[in-house]
Amino acid sequence: MSKTQFADIVIIGGGLNGLAQALAFAVHGVTCHVIDRADQAAMLAPHFDGRVSAISSSSMKLFEAIGLGPALAGKGCPIEQIWVSDGLKPGALDFVPEEGDGYLGQMFENQLIRRALYESAMARPEITLHMPAEIARSKADDAGVRVELKNGDVLTGSLLVVAEGRKSASRDAAGIRLTEWDYAHEAMVTAIFHEKPHRSVAYEIFYPSGPFAILPMLDDEKGRHRSAIVWSVPRAEAGVYRKLSPRGMAHEIEKAMGGLLGAIEMNAPVMGYPLNFQHANRITDTRMVLVGDAAHGMHPIAGQGLNLGLRDVAALAQVVVEGMRLGLDPGDAQILDRYTRWRSLDVQSVMMATDTLNKLFGIPGQTASAARRLGLAAVQRLKPLKDFFMAEARGESGNLPKLLQGLTV
């Protein structure tokens, strides 16, 4: 039998950003519906597909503040150093925190984060999960938010949060346009076993054909050393790589690594993701707000995609909670205007910096390569500039929302 259910917030999208947003509201007593068409049981099946995320120090503080600390404790591999180079040539740049400064971040398997978020959301009385569920129609206007599910249930609220990813139907239906371009590359994502220990070092090697990242992971239960690989290659070449046997792919990855970690074997299948740039021309509409990939999709070159989405999550939670304490409706235009002002500059600067970095390191030729090596060497020598980049990697620069400081609002 169908029913109408009210909550303060209706969230479309139950992925990493959507569930984090629900929990960020819930710890402040704000009620949420979360809708997703995916079957969580299938998403959480015990297998490893190679997908990992670099969680910055500030994002980890958010996870702890919304209750994920115990579930994630000891399951992330610390990043104690980031090594950046133009190919495998001399002149590399390495970021190493001062003693006592803590990690630059941690690498987590996406599935571990998803499970922790889902189980925490299931345990919160402020959150009602509708998964799997299909949306028949939705509307957000001055009167409020109304979402009708295909099973007949009607969900109502005061604010619609769109966290359904890059191909957001809700964003498109609201007439929000994208600035976008195609990189004509594909990210090949996998994981490997390797002979030598990684010593908690993340490598970012820039080749003219695209960046190649080696991201440290915890050893497996047998003590085998592991790392994740994110390799950007021209789309025309990606199909050729996908046809290789596991042994053939391991050979190609080992060659690209230049023997950094010794002999390797495959630990996960190779998954491919087309790379493009997407930026919503506005991130709010009447009683609607975009967070995460629905608002911005960027190149994975700096590993900041999820962290940028979690900054959206923290900022939105803060402006909504503070607004509600002043007696404002969660979907009030003043709240959404504050969110826009807070997030727009940060998002734009991170995305354009990432895009510029990708294009700069993609310029072929010896002259361009020599100039890049000189630039890396200059940053290596200038401590203030190096400290700035490390603060960016930790997600600790700019006007941080309280959740990213490990505090509730």
pLDDT by residue (tens digit) across 175-215?
999 999 888 889 999 999 999 999 999 998 888 888 899 99
Asked if residue 303 has pLDDT above 90, the reply is: no
Asked if residue 235 has pLDDT above 70, the reply is: yes
Highest mean pLDDT among 78-92, 224-238, 293-307: 224-238
Alpha helices in 158-303 (DSSP H): 169-173, 235-242, 246-257
Look-up of token digits 């609220």: 157
- For 404: left if phi > 0, alpha if psi spans -120 to 50, otherwise beta; the answer is alpha
pLDDT at residue number 370: 52
Note the pLDDT tens digit of each residue in 340-393. Answer: 999 988 887 777 667 666 655 555 555 555 555 555 554 455 555 445 455 555
Phi first, then psi: give them for residue 219, nearest 5 degrees.
Answer: -60, 150
What is the distance between the alpha carbons of residues 404 and 314, in angstroms, rounded to a whole number? 7
pLDDT at residue number 44: 76
Asked if residue 75 has pLDDT above 90, the reply is: yes
What is the distance between the alpha carbons of residues 287 and 332, in angstroms, rounded to a whole number? 7
pLDDT at residue number 386: 47
pLDDT at residue number 385: 45
Q: Is the pTM of this model over 0.85?
A: yes
Would you say 77 and 217 are in contact if contact means Cβ atoms under 8 Å apart? yes
Average pLDDT, the chain: 87
Average the pLDDT over 269-294 and give the result.
93
pLDDT-derived band at 88 (thresholds 50, 70, 90) equals: confident
pLDDT-derived band at 138 (thresholds 50, 70, 90) equals: very high
Alpha helices in 265-365 (DSSP H): 305-325, 333-361
Phi first, then psi: give them for residue 63, nearest 5 degrees.
Answer: -55, -40
Average the pLDDT over 162-176 and give the result.
95
pLDDT-derived band at 97 (thresholds 50, 70, 90) equals: low
Would you say 15 and 163 are in contact if contact means Cβ atoms under 8 Å apart? yes
From residue 38, give the alpha-carbon distance in Å to each of 30, 48, 124, 125, 133. Answer: 24, 18, 20, 21, 8
Q: Is 118 helix (H, G, I), strand (E, B) or coil?
A: helix
